Amino acid sequence: MDGVRSGPAARSRTRAAGWMRALRASALALFLGACGSLLPAPVGAPVGQFGKAVSDVSAAQLGLYDALARNESDLNSYNSFVGPALAGGPRPVPLPAATMTEAQRALRKSILDGLSAYGQALQALAQTGDATAFDASAKSIDGSLRKIAGDKALVGDFLASAKATTIGVDAFSTAIAAVGDYVVQLVETRTITQTAARMQQPIEIVTQVLLSENDAIGAVLDGIHDAGDSLRRLALLSIKSDPRGSRGGTLVGEWVLDQEFAKRFARPDIAALQAALRALPPANKAVANAQAPDGIAAIQEFVARVQAVQGFYKGLGG
């Protein structure tokens, strides 16, 4: 049997596998073309798709923050909605305070704007070879991120609330300042592969913090959902135990409570968003290294994961 494995057929299969790896690497290099230098012509589909996905995953992350704020607000509204049914009855524990202030959300939006601008510039370069339309916005984002990075207390508060205990304040400040700087460089120099390589470490750091924060947000949302369900159950118990109520009225009341609960407390698909964020660093690395054999696969996986989560977070709007 060993002789069969090492025979001409096996050697042919080995050579074929090697050719396929080389073909994939050549394909990505061809798509990227002269990305490491000035780009006089469009680059190709993979970089453009990657750029769009970076912007889309940034929007989905912002959508999670919005969903958190709505869930917190809806819990208070739901408490008011079911209050009449609970008059004189048992009350749940006090409702939680808002998790994120407007200033804290603005900080996170600035960081996500930086990632989104990176994706938009890449998409423009891939499609037309030019991203000068983003010059003013890139410089504005760069200024905002430098200001944030210089406020170590603000950065420290962000890391603490995100429970990102493995990332230091200086490291994160450096990373977010670098995002703005490299976006400006990308727009001005049009050097895709070099900029992607420089952006790799900042992306890894920012992604790690977002992953940590999303786990914490998931726990908060679970608590909000459980508190809302407790309110629903207490209200339903109060309605059912009211001797003045009819069976039909009780059923209607139960239906209304269930409908309101379902409308207000739809759980965001955090697991899908986390999977998309985890796929971002490998995909960016593939853009930086045009010779990577599995580069296209890494980009395609990231794009697919972002597409899977993007529609859900758009649906949470309003």
| CA–CA gap between residue 100 and residue 123 (Å, rounded) | 32
For tokens 């080995």, name the residue: 14
DSSP symbols for 201-241:
HHHHHHHHHHHHHHHHHHHHHHHHHHHHHHHHHHHHHHHHT
| CA–CA gap between residue 286 and residue 294 (Å, rounded) | 8
| CA–CA gap between residue 17 and residue 8 (Å, rounded) | 14
| CA–CA gap between residue 179 and residue 114 (Å, rounded) | 6
| pLDDT of 84 | 64
| pLDDT of 26 | 47
Q: pLDDT by residue (tens digit) across 248-291?
A: 455 556 666 777 777 777 778 899 999 999 999 999 999 998 75
What CA dihedral angle connects 31, 33, 38 and 44, to 10 degrees? -20
Based on its alpha-carbon atoms, the radius of gyration of the chain, rounded to whole angstroms, reads: 25
| CA–CA gap between residue 21 and residue 15 (Å, rounded) | 10
Q: Which two tokens stand for residue 236?
A: 């339903």
DSSP symbols for 65-125:
HHHHHHHHHHHHHHHHHHGGGGTTS---SPPPPPSS-HHHHHHHHHHHHHHHHHHHHHHHH
| Angle between helical axes of 102-128 and 152-161 (0-180°, round to 10) | 90
| CA–CA gap between residue 241 and residue 203 (Å, rounded) | 56
| pLDDT of 293 | 62
128 with 44: CB under 8 angstroms?
A: no
* Ramachandran class of 96: left when φ > 0, alpha when ψ lies in -120 to 50, beta otherwise: beta
Low-confidence ranges of the chain (pLDDT < 70): 1-44, 81-98, 238-256, 291-294, 311-318
Q: pLDDT by residue (tens digit) across 155-179?
A: 999 999 899 989 999 999 999 999 9
